[in-house]
Chain A
């Protein structure tokens, strides 16, 4: 059975995220993204596909407020986040669960503490049972005390996913979340994402796996040479 992550009580906006005319470029380099318009309604499920270097990760970084757009406007949960001051970023980020392509696990913490991190940062002290249940569900029940350097690539990926979904964020952004797991686990994780989506979570998943994207039943976006188009 899929575990039931908890969700914080927050004011809901009909649109979880909106990008209007967003462009992004690093200094002295061609723009990575140009004129991106994207709306993620609340409870929607999108796959983002495209070749390597198309700008998928950059687009996700803009949505997690890890980068600011060069041009355009980003609205999250009904609030303009384009130039949100640093003090306001934690409030946005606590409503977003992110699976990073490089996992971004803390090597000095156990798998349990890594998974529990967003809950701990949000001040939730009564999370042990939920964390253990989620770790068991992603197949890390016997690895709860293991440090990330001792985990395999697939285990790290599952741990990163557990961390992203445990606090039951309103928006889940995942960068290649099934890139390091076997097909069976990829299917299992897809079912987790579908369950979360049915419960109202908005999802945007960047993936090379177009077969998985098709089977998900989610809307599919394609990013190529900095331009975004809807495939399905």
Chain B
């Protein structure tokens, strides 16, 4: 009986609107989880797109004098099929090329247009042939052609993915900062609301570190619980998206993976750590050398 008495908290329960703080931290943790998962999904999508772009190349063939475009394209496809790192090369006939251009140009202009002869190349995804290798092979076969390995698009996609990941990380940090600020505010309010309790502890021999420890434990546990609720809610949302939309979630732009759940697991711990540090800073600042207990000497 007595052992349980001595474990009771030395701070009163709910001294400074703690249910509200718990709700705010839970919402912030939920948002942080969305930012983290969104960043990971954007990164995953960008890698997928970049990977697909890396596995393809397009060759434009210019027929030499006396050679038809179709013949030149067929020769180029045959040449490229024998190059290491090429899985498949297919010459696009005029019909196929027109089909590619129709969405942009419409039907009216296509019959009169000098359409370039194209070869679609599918590269070995594990060891793709480089653009210079393809160009060299085409030149050795006496073909006048230019190779586009989509490196410009790939760079732009990867750049966009890096930007989105950075934005997600910044959002995560901002949310963590907001949670810390909320805890600082609550800890200071709690300290003010419990001034008499703090003074009594102090007059009975409690050190500032001990008093700060009481607040750190209180807000750390509160933030851990709120973090659990926020991360749990985000996990439930993510599970719903995954189940409803399969591996692509609700949109291919943000593919969701079960492994993203791992990203959410440290959120309660991070929330508790932020809260503990914030409470420590707030309380020790307010319990400064001249803050409580003995007043200043003199008037």
Contact = CB atoms under 8 A, between A and B. Distances in A.
Interface of A: 25-28, 64-71, 82-83, 85-87, 89-90, 93-94, 98, 100, 104-110, 112-113, 116-118, 120-122, 125, 127-128, 131-132, 145, 163
B206 interface: yes
A82 B297 CA distance: 9
B293 A89 contact: yes
Closest 6 CB pairs of A and B: A128-B2, A94-B205, A108-B12, A93-B205, A68-B297, A68-B294
Interface of A is mostly: loop
Interface in B232-288: 287-288
Contacts of B8: 109-110, 113
21 contacts: A27-B299, A66-B203, A68-B295, A70-B297, A70-B299, A83-B297, A86-B208, A86-B287, A89-B294, A90-B202, A90-B206, A93-B202, A93-B205, A104-B200, A109-B10, A113-B5, A117-B201, A117-B204, A120-B6, A122-B205, A131-B2
Nearest to B289: A86
B297 A128 contact: no
Contacts of A109: 8, 10
A86 B197 CA distance: 17
Contact of A64 (B203, B297, B299): B203
A118 B205 contact: yes
A121 B294 CA distance: 19
A95 to B, nearest CB: 9
B207 to A, nearest CB: 5
B298 interface: yes
Interface of B: 2-3, 5-6, 8, 10-13, 196-197, 199-208, 210, 287-290, 293-299
Nearest to B210: A121
Given A90-B202, A109-B8, A118-B204, 8 more contacts: A65-B294, A66-B293, A67-B294, A83-B297, A104-B199, A108-B13, A128-B3, A128-B5
Contacts of B299: 25-28, 70
B238 to A, nearest CB: 40
Contact of A107 (B12, B287, B296): B12
Interface of B is mostly: loop
Contacts of A83: 297
Contacts of B201: 117, 121
Contacts of A108: 11-13, 197
A106 B197 CA distance: 6
A82 B296 CA distance: 11
A167 B210 CA distance: 18
A109 B290 CA distance: 28
B294 A116 contact: no
A87 B208 contact: yes
Nearest to B290: A86
Contact of B6 (A28, A94, A100, A113): A113
Nearest to A116: B6
A69 B210 CA distance: 27
Contacts of B2: 112, 128, 131-132
A197 to B, nearest CB: 22
A228 B290 CA distance: 29
B284 to A, nearest CB: 11
Contact of B296 (A68, A116, A163): A68
Contacts of A131: 2
Give the interface centre of A85, A117, A145 by most chain B CB atoms within 10 Å. A117
A155 to B, nearest CB: 17
A107 B207 CA distance: 21
A203 B143 CA distance: 110
A100 B203 CA distance: 10
Nearest to A131: B2
B10 A106 contact: yes
A89 B202 contact: yes
Contact of A69 (B289, B293, B297): B297
A198 to B, nearest CB: 25
B8 to A, nearest CB: 6
Contact of A104 (B203, B206, B210): B203
Give the interface centre of A94, A98, A104 by most chain B CB atoms within 10 Å. A104
